[in-house]
Structure 1
């Protein structure tokens, strides 16, 4: 049985982020391990990632792992990254996500033609990016995480102001975690797709695997328009 190369790379990333030996089962199922230093979730939380019909879960302690392992045994794999389904079997205090995990290969990428709109390249630390974050509000700016990018920023200006921007942060396993942000009054005009396309083009040219992690439907639609395929989801929970 052949395995999707994109899925193999995506799974390798999250296995690395788990910070302890763990693998997505080739026959499905859920693997729960103890990893206080897990990169799947904030410190002290439980991280859950489902990719291609298999899941890995990290817990901060052995006691938490036993609780989580017993509880998730009652769920189908597809429900492991669902906030409501997990709340139904575990005492959950706080939740981050779920977020869809999408990836694209060079042959599946559908770039936006260059030139319209004009996309400019800036330093990832350029002050104009901070202005975009300010007008976008803390919640949207926090979701995008533009301040974390290690790539150049790809931006669209209007009236001299940056109204949309995208870039990526290099993650382990040669992954490019894409960040995209558009000012509220400029949404729905294709600017996220244009700037995101420029960022993904840059990442693919560097031999990286672009990752698009999104919760809101609008962001997910942009990724799908660019050729990304949703392969799974991520959820982080703090046990009550």
Structure 2
């Protein structure tokens, strides 16, 4: 991966989220024990691959050993492929993979117009109708209930047709969150509100991040100028996993 200012910031972000002293190696995946890692849910293992290298966190030494053994001799990209882990002995659940895309200000392609975009405070009651109009999975995927910025919306009568904002992450990163009414998709509303949220993040000198699994969301990010720099996956290991010596190890740990 060409080392640019954006790539450096992204690597610094994920190293900081690992919660221990580590760094991206020159190639392959570096595995570290990090009970407080924020790369994954509590008691899980987390893997982030950026370009030609990655880092992986494990809640304890036994799980770290499992990861090192599982990753040895495998192609780098397979570390963040759900299909690869779903068939692995001892892996009982997989979250992801999610693509990790970032936006350099010089590559921002804003929506052609911000007419009709309103700005609401976080938690505004008008958002409730939007949340009620979509599935629980869509709400969870969007992360709209976790934003810390203002909410940029297109109104739909007394309610909201589409909304976007961001949550401030460490290292001055703005994690974008977008949600559109299930009845009103395909009209460019998501791009309009997302563009407004991205512009606000850039004015605040934040690095916009777009983390997504569904292809429509990834396509929208590309339309705005985001570049996919890597992927993230979380895996949960069985409570008792046979190690390479046939002994039993018990993972533990938590995520903040």
Which TM-score bucket, shorter chain as reference? over 0.9
Consecutive unaligned residues of structure 2, counting only runs of 5 or more, are 239-256
Deviation string 1:176-231 (CA, Å, 9 cap, x unpaired) is 00000001111111111111000000001101010000000000000000000000
CA RMSD of aligned residues (A): 1.3
More moved, 195-204 vs 77-86: 77-86
CA distance, structure 1, for counterparts of residue 151 and residue 182 of structure 2: 19
Count of residue pairs the alignment pairs up = 238
CA distance, structure 1, for counterparts of residue 237 and residue 154 of structure 2: 42
Residues 68 and 90 in structure 1, CA contact (< 8 A), matched pair in contact too: no
- TM-score between both structures, scaled by the size of structure 2: 0.90
Residues 90 and 237 in structure 2, CA contact (< 8 A), matched pair in contact too: yes
Residues 31 and 56 in structure 2, CA contact (< 8 A), matched pair in contact too: yes
The structure with the largest alpha-carbon Rg is: 2
1:20 is matched with 20
Q: Cα 1:90–1:56, aligned 2, differ >3 Å: closer, same or farther?
A: farther
Indicate the SS of the match to 1:178: strand
Indicate the SS of the match to 1:107: helix
1:84 is matched with 83
1:46 is matched with 45
2:136 is matched with 138
TM-superposed CA distance for 1:7, in Å, is 1.3
Indicate the SS of the match to 1:44: coil
CA distance, structure 2, for counterparts of residue 16 and residue 127 of structure 1: 35
- TM-score between both structures, scaled by the size of structure 1: 0.96
Residues 182 and 191 in structure 1, CA contact (< 8 A), matched pair in contact too: yes
Structure of greater relative contact order (alpha carbons < 8 Å, 6+ residues apart) = 2
CA distance, structure 1, for counterparts of residue 235 and residue 159 of structure 2: 38
Consecutive unaligned residues of structure 1, counting only runs of 5 or more, are none
